[in-house]
Structure 1
Amino acid sequence: MGNGHIAFRHQVIKEEDGRKVRQILSNRFRFSRRMFRRLRNENGMVKVNGENVFLTSRIMAGDVIEVAMPTDEGEGEGTPPQPIPLDVKYEDDDLIILNKPPGIVVHPTRRHPEGTLANGLAYHWQERGEFHLIRPVTRLDRDTSGLILFAKHAYGHAFLAKQMEKRRYQREYLAFVHGRVEQEKGILDGPIRRVEEGSIIRKVSFDGVRAVTHFIRVRQWKNASLLRLSLETGRTHQIRVHLSHMGHPIIGDEMYGGSGEELGMNRQALHAGFLSLIHPLSEERFSLESSLPEDMATLQEKLDKE
């Protein structure tokens, strides 16, 4: 990617012979209506065999379509950059994956207008001579650590969001919970809603929004268990609410009935340790893992000594 554009290239196959450029781009790259509008407003962005064409042009097998899709450069002020340390696990022209530490908010809010992961990301890109709007594909609570994914452009964000809808994007979390979980694995299926209007606290309730969490027990101790969890849906505080409702709140999660002072945990012992996704341009699947952060690793050592 360069000069504010994302490059797409496709050689037309026999089954696509005679189709319109727009139809092929829609099927091959899943361009949205908004993206097609941008292409119509920019001259010379779509070429076939090196020549400018209209989206309504019909093409033949063997033809090469090339698209230069405008990116975010010049679109608004973006998030104010701040020099905040980032642990970059992976980055290319289309996305970036960070290993988020606990205690930092992902995006500026009224209560946290600065000092967020997004501010640090804007600074990181500024130092590289890049500009991108902050497009988180997933979010993590302030005190949840682990892998978090951002798209660098609208196409990548739309592609990855669609993956999540189709459950092709996989996320796994590790959580230390109170008590011995007797089941080796299970499904937590309970609708979630706010406890009351305006509250940030959620609860399982029949009139809530559908929420499904899968878990596998990894280890057990005398009064604690380590679970690996995956999300079928992505509700706010979903894992925390479901585990609390199950009777096994996360160690350190005081909001949902857990405690951690005696074990040295001053936040919920929840870590996003694994993700697997299909890349928006190459469409190849790749996976990343993140080991336990220092406080959770220390917690495990303490549990091993009990």
Structure 2
Amino acid sequence: MTQERLFNTFIVTAAEDGKKLQQVLKNRYHFSRRWLRRLKQGQYVLVNDEASYLSARIHSGDEIRIFLPDEITLKIEPEAIPLRISYEDEDIVVVDKPAGIVVHPTKGYPNGTLANGLAYHFLQQGRELPIRPVSRLDKDTSGLLMMAKHAYTHDFLSKEMKKKRYQRQYVAIVHGQIADDVGTINRPIAHDPVRPIHRWVNENGAQAITHYEVLERKEGATLVSLQLETGRTHQIRVHLSDYGHPIIGDRMYAEGWKDYGIKRQALHATRLSFIHPRDGKEYMFFSPLSQDMKELWAKL
């Protein structure tokens, strides 16, 4: 098992006595059929230190060890970029991203990205791992995002997102006073046919739902908390702009509005919560409002 990494070990309970191994694995870790086939083909599951068929029945007191294959890495150049890591274990990394850094290399940003920094971080640990963002943040949005260290965790959390159990909460400072204390923006979002990088609200677009709650109002501005139910590109920025309250400093969707000196959109990912694939427990992380947004709100 030198090419594999131990994922988890557990002892079969009395309630699991006599059940098929594949059913217990599915119940405990929500392995898909594809993943069960992969575990079977690689003999990545041991029962009492011996390889076992997944169709075999297991018994109370048996020790089950699950391995995951180390995967072929994507070619991302390691770079010594400072990272603010909020949490890290064998499955995930939660990063508190500053504004101004891209998550993953693109044609426009081939290096200097968060992924380059993580590749270097993993290399310092003696490992080469693929960079798998579970969700992304725009270059000029700050705050929390999560990377999966292997394909199973990425698949698991992607499914959790579809089940609305992967929660992301943001704080924004917007132009104008939002009238309602709480509300939901349910407007479909599509590619802008004129400006390819932009998105816009269009009835032929994909469903997009954003919930909001006003935290505080000032003359001409609102501090608002937002929670995503869907994850469309630029969703919060497009929804708030279409709603008549674009984010202050958003040079793409608040054109012609005053930026009050902030050099990016005043949007921060402040909370992240999810069910962990290894132990099934809920994890929650918080990031305080970024300094430039604190200064902007004080100025307003």
Q: TM class by shorter-chain length?
A: over 0.9
Aligned to 2:42: 42
Task: Quote how far apart the aligned CAs of 1:260 are.
Answer: 6.6
CA distance in 1, matches of 2:127, 2:104: 19
Aligned to 1:51: 50
Aligned to 1:7: 7
What does 1:76-91 align with in structure 2 at a 5 Å threshold?
76-91=73-88
**Which moves more between the two structures, 187-196 or 6-15?**
6-15
| Aligned counterpart for 2:102 among listed residues 97, 101, 105 | 105
**Which moves more between the two structures, 196-205 or 7-16?**
7-16
Indicate how the Cα distance of structure 1 residues 226 and 41 shifts in structure 2: closer, same or farther if over 3 A, else same.
same
Instruction: Give the percent of matched residue pairs that are identical in Structure 1 and Structure 2.
Output: 48
CA distance in 2, matches of 1:290, 1:161: 22
Matched residue of 1:177: which SS?
Answer: strand
Task: Quote how far apart the aligned CAs of 1:35 are.
Answer: 2.6
CA distance in 2, matches of 1:165, 1:260: 35
1:277 aligns with 2:294: no
CA distance in 1, matches of 2:258, 2:187: 29
Matched residue of 1:256: which SS?
Answer: coil
1:127 aligns with 2:124: yes
CA distance in 2, matches of 1:101, 1:133: 22
Q: What whole-Å deviation, never above 9, does each CA across 1:214-252 have from its counterpart, x for those lacking one?
A: 000001111100000000000000000100011000001
1:33 aligns with 2:33: yes
Could you tell me whether the CA contact under 8 Å between 2:248 and 2:258 is conserved in 1?
no
Q: 2:251 is matched by which residue type in structure 1?
A: E
1:114 aligns with 2:111: yes
Aligned to 2:142: 145
TM-score (norm 2): 0.94
Aligned to 1:246: 243
Matched residue of 1:132: which SS?
Answer: coil
Indicate how the Cα distance of structure 1 residues 119 and 21 shifts in structure 2: closer, same or farther if over 3 A, else same.
same
Indicate how the Cα distance of structure 1 residues 261 and 127 shifts in structure 2: closer, same or farther if over 3 A, else same.
farther
CA distance in 2, matches of 1:66, 1:16: 15
Task: Quote how far apart the aligned CAs of 1:264 are.
Answer: 0.9
Could you tell me whether the CA contact under 8 Å between 1:214 and 1:229 is conserved in 2?
yes
Q: What whole-Å deviation, never above 9, does each CA across 1:117-175 have from its counterpart, x for those lacking one?
A: 10010001101112210010010011111001001111111111111111111110000
- 5+ residue gaps, structure 2: none
1:65 aligns with 2:57: no
Could you tell me whether the CA contact under 8 Å between 2:169 and 2:272 is conserved in 1?
yes
CA distance in 2, matches of 1:198, 1:182: 31
Matched residue of 2:252: which SS?
Answer: helix
CA distance in 2, matches of 1:59, 1:240: 52
Q: 2:193 is matched by which residue type in structure 1?
A: E
Task: Quote how far apart the aligned CAs of 1:52 are.
Answer: 2.4
Matched residue of 2:224: which SS?
Answer: strand
Matched residue of 2:299: which SS?
Answer: helix
Could you tell me whether the CA contact under 8 Å between 2:122 and 2:129 is conserved in 1?
yes
Q: 1:20 is matched by which residue type in structure 2?
A: K
Could you tell me whether the CA contact under 8 Å between 1:78 and 1:134 is conserved in 2?
no
Could you tell me whether the CA contact under 8 Å between 1:251 and 1:258 is conserved in 2?
no
Could you tell me whether the CA contact under 8 Å between 2:18 and 2:58 is conserved in 1?
yes
Could you tell me whether the CA contact under 8 Å between 1:249 and 1:258 is conserved in 2?
no
Task: Quote how far apart the aligned CAs of 1:93 are.
Answer: 1.3
**Which moves more between the two structures, 270-279 or 56-65?**
56-65
Give the superposed CA RMSD.
Answer: 1.8
1:229 aligns with 2:229: no
